[in-house]
Amino acid sequence: MNNIGIKARVIFLGTVPALLFAIILIGYIISNIFGILNQSLVDRGKIIATQLAPAAEYGVISGNRQMLQKLVQQALDNEQDLKTVMVVDNQGLVLAYSGQAIPETLISKIMQENLPEYKQARGIIFSAPIHRSLVEIDDFSSQEENTQQLKKDFSPEKIGQIYVELSNQGLQSYKLVFVVKIASIALLGLLLSGWLAWRIGRNITQPIQEIARAVNKVREGVLSQTLVENSSGELKTLQKGFNSMSASLKHAYDVMQDKINDATSMLRHQAQHDDLTGLINRREFEVRLERCLKTAKENNAKHVFCFLDLDQFKLVNDTSGHIAGDELLKQVSVLLAIRMRERDTLARLGGDEFGLLLENCTQKEADQICSAIQRIIRDFRYSHDDKIFNIGVSIGMVVIDDHFDSVSEVVHAADMACMAAKKAGRNQTVLFNAGDVEVVEQKNAVEAIADITDEIDDDQFMLYCQAIVPLTPNLPHLPNMPAIPQQHHYEILLRKVDLDGKIILPTTFIPSAERYHLMPNIDRWVIKNAFIAYRKLLDIDYEHCNYIFSINLSGTSLGDQSLLPFIREQFAKYAIPPASICFEITETAAIVNLKNTILLFNSLREIGCKFALDDFGSGMSSFMYLKNFDVDYLKIDGAFVKEIHQNRIDHAMVRSIHNVAESMNIKTVAEFVESDAILKQLEIIGVHYGQGLHLGLPITVKELIQQYAELHPR
Amino acid sequence: MWFACCFFAVMCLFSEVALAYTGVTIVMSSKTEANLAFVEQFKTELAGNENNTLNLKVIELPARKRLVVAENSELVIALGAKALEAASKLSHTTPVLAVHTPSLAYEQILEKSRRDASNMSMIMQNQPYARQINFIQLVLPAAKNIGSLVNGNSQTYAEQLKTQADKKGLNVQLTHLNDPSMLIPELKTLLEANDALLAIPDTAVYKPDTAQSILMTSYQFKKPVLCYSLSYAKAGALAALYSSSRHLAKQAAEIAQQSQNAESALPLPQAPKYFSVYVNRQVARLLNIEVNKDVAIFQELIATDNLQNE
């Protein structure tokens, strides 16, 4: 009922009362007429029986069956619906019958119960007694006592019974026909009333349906829908109201649509552009790159893709904070953007990486553009908080042609070219060429770490060690440590074993490993295996084991909160004396992760570990930060050491570093001691330890254990 | 005390004398139409006679006490057997005339009351034999054999009739019906052998519950029934020779006046003097019988009666 339309409701309204009335009327008529018909059947049966009874009197008295048979047959022939006429005497003997005989059991039942009528499924049996009738034959009968007595006690003598069975089938058929006719008339009446309701209701339904249609149109989004205000009264109010609402809705919709369009444009812009610099972002850039790749393949067009990576950006970010780094990126973006041609696409791909898509551009033009960019960047001075930074840009250039199958291949190639440019000394442009040595190396480096996962297999890496040799006989005592006999100090070095069993140096795979955040896992592997090795030494001869293992920790590991618990767990697991372990951290890594480094240093020093600051001097403000770190060793950057015997500045640098360290009671270690001349200079300065090919080649940890075992047989 | 007793006795005697009546008293068992017609006709007859000095009293039987009034009446007319039985108990000096009473019942009451013909008489129900035979022959001139069912009540009359009829060349066959259930078979046998059935007053045979059967059976045999009452004839008999209450009242009035004037004993029981004839023309048509007009038959019977009386 809730889902039907107005037209159906009006028809419903017009027909239901008529239907109810028809049902009541038909019910009443049928009930009455059926009652009358039933009664008339009963009356008729009774009349036939009671009329036949006296007619059969003489036949019964005289026993004249022939006469009775004629009587019943005549009755059966003349009366419609009469099924049976039967005459029995008062003994129950059937004297005559016509039609279907009534079973004796039924007769005896009717006689016993003295039933005037007995209803059956298909008819009614009526019975009437046959009495001996009295005829007045004496004129003075009342004077005769016998006669008087006879009349007084008159109870007609029953001499027999007549049974009449009247079929109700005819009546039933008549009833059925009657019901069908009545129902037909009622149905016709209903249809008529429905039609009338529809005709009359159309004046109401039509305007409402128009309104409903208009509402549906509005629901479908056609807001310009209006109605002709041709009705009166409430309907006109509805029409006017609808038109008014429709107009308001359209206005609101238009305003909303404008807002949506604006918001969509903004979202689209945000989806395609970098928030910080306003340049195209990586997603949109890749879309355009894809398009270019397609035209290159289909139209043999030439495009150039340049992968730009700022040099020294990390330094700005680390030293002056992210805000300074972000500001730098913005300024660089503006600098680059204003140099772009109309068809060029400059995008920020992430961090300090930019992409430059030069469509329909020759390599020569691209070279010129790259040179211009490098010049602009090199000439650019970025100042922040009274600090002035010089930055550069390394560019990997790729000519997009049909050799590339996908955008990722193009990006990968440019990335590799860019890394090759960085490796070649930064602020350079390297054109990707699949056969170039730099590119191949870079490719190898990436491939070298391809098999490193979270769970590092033991056969993927090997541990080497290189002796750190005392250069002066009287070494100062280590802080917090008693003077002990000469200790064997080794730096643990890491080598990767590739699938062919070839040894790969860390310089090849470490940058890639750092880039892909694999260093924390590698560091853990090194710690664990160095501890295992040391355990073996202890197990061989605990008494004489006076080794110190220096283990390098990468900058990314310093930011790992779970590293300290891991180291403690390893100490507990292998029962290594903490004083036997020295952790080396590069100066740059320590500065970048200053807070974490200090926390780690403090925690590990509590249990007795040593620390060394590696590659000291390479950073810009080395001395300034030195006071922040409580270290045992300073490892002077090899860049100052390897030409110390030829370069006075390097000599001065080493000497000053050593002097500062000594004044802080920190022992110095010189790396890259590759010749006797270098050694002598170091000894003159007084550097405490030396490490290099001249002092001892790296050997495998396994060999070290073996040598120790040989020296200390059980 | 003695005086008082004598006075009471005289008063009682005076009272009885005062109750004595010298007129005619009609005693009826109930006020039936026939009885009332009788009384009315009786009064008419008395009024029509200039010499009449008789008073008339009518008593209904249940008022037994009043029957004393009838004592010493000039004549007590009892209508019906029951009234006759009551009247018969009156003083023998009070003559009683029985009307509407079957002969057999009259005989029994007479004997029981120890009265004699001098103070008790009757007007019989049965028609005189000659008139009855004459009537049969007038209605059914061609009939030679007449059958009749009889019982103890009517046997004497029937046998006398049969004797008289024989003399007139009419054969009357009498069948005694002792078992009522044998009515139809006996009737059939009788009808098969005769031309008509003569019904004579006999309450054991001709009664309301047998009338239909007798009439239907005779009709089945296409044989007419001759009867003794107008009712029977109207019920389906061919013709009736009957005396109505008015006929009997007229005859009774004559007897009353005769007995007053002559101061003699009552006449002997006598047959009905006055009568009527009725022919059911419908039955005659159905049986295809040509019957003379009622009046003609009646006049013929009167003429024959007069001839015989002469």
- Is there a single domain that holds both residue B109 and residue B179? no
Give the pLDDT band of residue A586 (cuts 50, 70, 90).
Answer: confident
- Domain membership of residue B161 as a residue range: 129-242+275-309
The DSSP H or E segment spanning A124 is strand A123-131
Structural domain includes residue B267: no
Confidence (pLDDT) at A152? 57
Regarding whether B230 and B114 lie in a shared domain, the answer is no
Eight-state DSSP code of residue A426: S
Same domain assignment for residues B113 and B177: no
- pLDDT at residue A703, rounded to an integer: 93
Q: Which residues of A485-494 are buried (b: 16+ CB within 10 A; e: fewer)?
A: eebbbbbbbb
Roughly how many angstroms between the first and final C-alpha of chain A, as a whole number? 102
The yes-or-no verdict on residue A482 having pLDDT over 60 is no
pLDDT single digits (tens) A538-584: 999 888 888 999 999 988 788 788 888 999 999 999 999 999 999 99
Strand partners, A355: A307, A347
Q: Give the closest residue to A557 by CA, choosing from A525, A603, A529, A605.
A: A525
Report pLDDT for A402: 82
Of the pLDDT bands very low, low, confident and very high (cuts 50, 70, 90), residue B99 is very high
Question: With 90 as the cut, is the pLDDT of residue B195 above it?
Answer: yes
Cross-chain CB nearest to B231 (options A61, A132, A138): A138
Same domain assignment for residues B14 and B147: no
Superfamily of domain A282-448: Reverse transcriptase/Diguanylate cyclase domain (3.30.70.270)
| Cα A125 from Cα A81, distance rounded (Å) | 12
Mean pLDDT of A201-223: 83
SS (H, E, C) chain B: CHHHHHHHHHHHHHHHHHHCCCCEEEEECCCCHHHHHHHHHHHHHHHHCCCCCCCEEEEECCCHHHHHHHCCCCEEEEECHHHHHHHCCCCCCCCEEEECCCHHHHHHHHHHHCCCCCCEEEECCCCCHHHHHHHHHHHCCCCCEEEEEECCCCHHHHHHHHHHHHHCCCEEEEEECCCHHHHHHHHHHHHHHCCEEECCCCCCCCCHHHHHHHHHHHHHCCCCEEECCHHHHHHCCCEEEECCHHHHHHHHHHHHHHHHHHCCCCCCCECCCCCEEEECHHHHHHCCCCCCCHHHHHHHHHHHHHHHHC
User: Which of B32, B213, B232 shows the shortest C-beta gap to A142?
Assistant: B32
Q: Using DSSP, state whether A615 is helix, strand or coil.
A: strand
Structure tokens at B287: 């049986």
Q: Does A141 touch chain B (CB under 8 A)?
A: yes
Judgement on whether residues B137 and B120 belong to the same structural domain of the protein: no
CATH number of the domain encompassing residue B24: 3.40.50.2300
Q: How far B11 CA lies from chain A's nearest CA (Å)?
A: 40
- pLDDT tier for residue A592 given thresholds of 50, 70 and 90: confident
Convert A349-380 to b/e letters by CB count within 10 Å (16 or more is b): beebbbbbbbbebeeeebeebbeebbeebeeb
- Please indicate whether, in this complex, the C-beta atoms of B211 and A137 are within 8 angstroms of each other: yes
Please report residues of A whose CB lies closer than 8 A to that of B33: 142
pLDDT tens across A53-86, in order? Answer: 888 888 888 778 888 899 999 988 888 888 899 9
Gap between the Cα atoms of A413 and A420, Å rounded: 11
Looking at the structure, tell me whether residues B181 and B146 fall in a common domain.
Answer: yes
- Can you spell out the DSSP letters for A508-548? HHHHHHHHTT-HHHHHHHHHHHHHHHHHHHHHH-STT--EE
Question: What is the pLDDT, as a whole number, of residue B16?
Answer: 39
- Greater pLDDT, A155 or A362: A362
**Does residue B66 fall inside a structural domain?**
yes
**From the CA of A133, how many Å to the nearest CA of chain B?**
6
Whether residue A54 lies within 8 A of chain B, CB to CB, comes out as: no
Binary contact (A136, B244; C-beta < 8 A): no
**CATH no., domain A461-711:** 3.20.20.450
| CA–CA distance, A28 with A22 (Å, rounded to integer) | 10
CATH 3.30.360.10 fits A1-132+156-219, yes or no: no
Q: What is the mean pLDDT of residues A696-713?
A: 90
E strand intervals along A132-172 = 158-167
What lies within 8 Å, CB to CB, of B26 at 6+ separation is B38, B39, B42, B56, B57, B58, B59, B76, B77, B79
pLDDT averaged over every residue in chain A: 84
Comparing C-alpha atoms, which of B226, B230, B250 is closest to residue B238? Answer: B226
Q: Are residues B192 and B212 in the same domain?
A: yes
Among the partner residues B79, B217, B232, nearest to A137 by beta-carbon distance: B232
Whether B89 and B179 map to the same domain: the answer is: no
B241–A contact, CB cutoff 8 A:
no
Per the CB < 8 Å rule, is B30 touching A142? yes
* Structure tokens, B290: 């040509």
Are residues B161 and B76 located together in one domain of the fold?
A: no
Whether residue B34 lies within 8 A of chain A, CB to CB, comes out as yes
pLDDT, tens digit (0-9, with 9 covering 90-100), for B42-84: 999 988 887 777 888 888 876 555 566 667 788 899 998 888 9
pLDDT higher than 60, residue A410: yes
Q: What is the pLDDT of residue B240?
A: 95
List of chain A residues whose C-beta atoms are within 8 Å of the C-beta of residue B102: 144
Q: What is the pLDDT of residue B144?
A: 93
Beta strands in A376-428 (DSSP E): 381-384, 387-390, 392-400
Say which range, A484-488, A677-681, B202-206, has the weakest mean pLDDT.
A484-488
pLDDT category at B252 given cuts 50, 70, 90 is: very high
Confidence of residue A615 (pLDDT cuts 50, 70, 90): confident
Residue B119 located in a structural domain: yes
Q: What is the pLDDT of residue B178?
A: 87
**Chain B partners within 8 Å of A138 (Cβ):** 201, 206, 229, 231-232
* Chain B residues whose beta carbon lies within 8 Å of the beta carbon of residue A142: 30, 32-35
The answer as to whether B3 is a domain residue is no
Q: Tell whether B77 lies on the interface with A, counting CB pairs under 8 A.
A: no
Which of chain B's residues have a Cβ under 8 Å away from the Cβ of A147?
203, 207-208
Q: Are residues B92 and B113 in the same domain?
A: yes
Mean pLDDT in residue range A464-490: 70
The verdict on a CB contact (< 8 Å) between B227 and A137 is yes
Residue A72: which of A93, A44, A100 has the closest Cα? A100
Contacting residues of B for A151, CB less than 8 Å apart: 208
Q: Which residue out of B213, B245, B276 would a mutagenesis test of the A interface target, given it has the greatest number of A Cβ atoms within 10 Å?
A: B213
Instruction: Please indicate, yes or no, whether residues B67 and B192 belong to a single structural domain of this protein.
Output: no
- Angle formed by the axes of helices A648-663 and A676-685, nearest 10°: 40
Predicted local distance difference test score (pLDDT) of residue A511: 73
What is the per-residue pLDDT for A439?
64
Q: Who contacts A242 (Cβ-Cβ below 8 Å, separation ≥6)? A: A211, A214, A215, A227
pLDDT band of residue A8 (cuts 50, 70, 90) is: confident
Q: What percent of chain B is predicted at pLDDT more than 90?
A: 49
Pull the structure tokens for residue B232: 């029977």
Q: Kindly tell me if the per-residue pLDDT of B219 is higher than 60.
A: yes
Q: Count up the domains in chain B and report the number.
A: 2
Pick from B34, B199, B230: which is nearest to A142 by CB? Answer: B34
Cα–Cα distance, A641 to A653 (Å, whole number): 9
Mutate to test the interface with B, among A139, A145, A147, A150 (most CBs of B within 10 A): A139
- Interface check for A134 against chain B (CB to CB < 8 A): the answer is yes
Chain B nearest C-alpha distance from A142 (Å): 7
Instruction: Provide the pLDDT for residue B18.
Output: 38
For residue B194, being part of any structural domain is answered with: yes
Burial A463-481 (b: 16+ CB within 10 A, else e): bbbbbbbbbeeeeeebeee
Q: What's residue B278's pLDDT?
A: 95
Smallest Cβ–Cβ distance between B211 and the set A63, A135, A139 belongs to A135
Tell me, yes or no, whether B133 lies in a domain: yes
Q: What mean pLDDT is predicted for residues A297-310? A: 89
- Predicted confidence at residue B3, as pLDDT, reads 43
Backbone φ and ψ of A337, nearest 5°:
-60, -40
User: Could you tell me what percent of chain B has a pLDDT over 70?
Assistant: 88
Residue B98 and residue B21 share a domain: yes
Average pLDDT over residues A663-689: 92
Q: Which residue of B lies nearest to A63 if distances are taken between CA atoms? A: B184
